[in-house]
């Protein structure tokens, strides 16, 4: 299975700039073959426009979040079925910025994962510790708790390609600081073991991504580390050359 590199544009990009960035990536992906799978997750306002640009290209489209319900009186929300209808293959769930700013808990993330599965979408589930938890040595305990409580039961019908886990140390996001490749390897190995414990041994092939201040300067060391199956990229994904360099670091 190829490594997965996902661009999380967050709340950035108006139509013209977003379409130009997506078009540039699609053109490069079509002409310069990479040993990685690429995903763009733009803000919801750009999904349809970006989907049109990516049609026929090897780059997938993804959403940044979804509601647990398929439809209803949920002003401002978007369902997994709507994302699928817009052309999305992936959806990011449980991102630290959602957990912190919107007070999402593991039960809510689990319900969203179930909704994504029902809609036939692949999920990128985010887990990670904050700075205080890291300093107190709680990293693995926090991640194990998030995984145990965020993963829905009844995933027997899915393949490992339908679920990815993104380790995003909250203290590293946007800070310019990253854990060492050895530290990342240790956390990713524990995530993989925990996934197998929860879901069964066949899920050993699930892709475990690293996310947290990934840049062209550190991408090669991080992506070459054992147990690292790709990256969830924030700010650097808004610059075509930077994101392409990160994707190319997959080998």
Q: What residues act catalytically?
A: 95, 168
Q: How far apart are alpha carbons 71 and 82 in whole angstroms?
A: 9
Q: How far apart are alpha carbons 220 and 173 in whole angstroms?
A: 18
Beta strand 163-167 pairing with 60-63:
unpaired
Return phi, psi of residue 128, to 5°: 165, 160
Q: How far apart are alpha carbons 60 and 8 in whole angstroms?
A: 12
Q: How far apart are alpha carbons 151 and 196 in whole angstroms?
A: 12
Measured between its terminal Cα atoms, the distance across the chain in Å is 13
Q: How far apart are alpha carbons 113 and 25 in whole angstroms?
A: 28
Q: How far apart are alpha carbons 65 and 72 in whole angstroms?
A: 16
Structure tokens at 42: 């733009």
Q: How far apart are alpha carbons 123 and 16 in whole angstroms?
A: 28
């Amino acid at each position: 299975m190829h490594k997965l590199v996902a661009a999380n544009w967050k709340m950035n990009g108006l139509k013209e700039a977003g379409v130009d960035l997506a078009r540039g990536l699609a053109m490069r992906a079509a002409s310069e073959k990479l040993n990685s799978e690429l995903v763009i997750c733009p803000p919801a306002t750009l999904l349809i426009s970006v989907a049109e640009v990516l049609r026929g290209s090897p780059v997938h489209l993804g959403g940044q979040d979804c509601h647990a319900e398929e439809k209803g009186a949920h002003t401002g929300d978007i369902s997994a079925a709507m994302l699928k209808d817009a052309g999305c293959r992936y959806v990011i769930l449980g991102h630290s910025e959602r957990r912190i700013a919107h007070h999402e808990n593991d039960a809510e993330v689990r319900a969203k994962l179930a909704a994504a599965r029902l809609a036939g979408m692949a999920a990128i589930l985010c887990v990670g510790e904050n700075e205080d938890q890291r300093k107190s040595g709680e990293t693995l305990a926090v991640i194990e708790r998030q995984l145990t409580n965020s993963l829905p039961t009844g995933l027997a019908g899915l393949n490992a390609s339908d679920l990815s886990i993104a380790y995003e140390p909250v203290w590293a996001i946007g800070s310019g600081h990253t854990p060492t490749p050895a530290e990342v390897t240790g956390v990713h190995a524990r995530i993989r073991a925990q996934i197998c414990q929860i879901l069964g041994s066949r899920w050993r092939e699930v892709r475990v991504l690293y996310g947290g201040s990934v840049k062209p300067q550190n991408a090669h060391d991080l992506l070459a580390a054992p147990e690292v199956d790709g990256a969830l990229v924030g700010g650097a994904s808004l610059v075509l050359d930077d994101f392409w360099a990160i994707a190319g670091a997959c080998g």
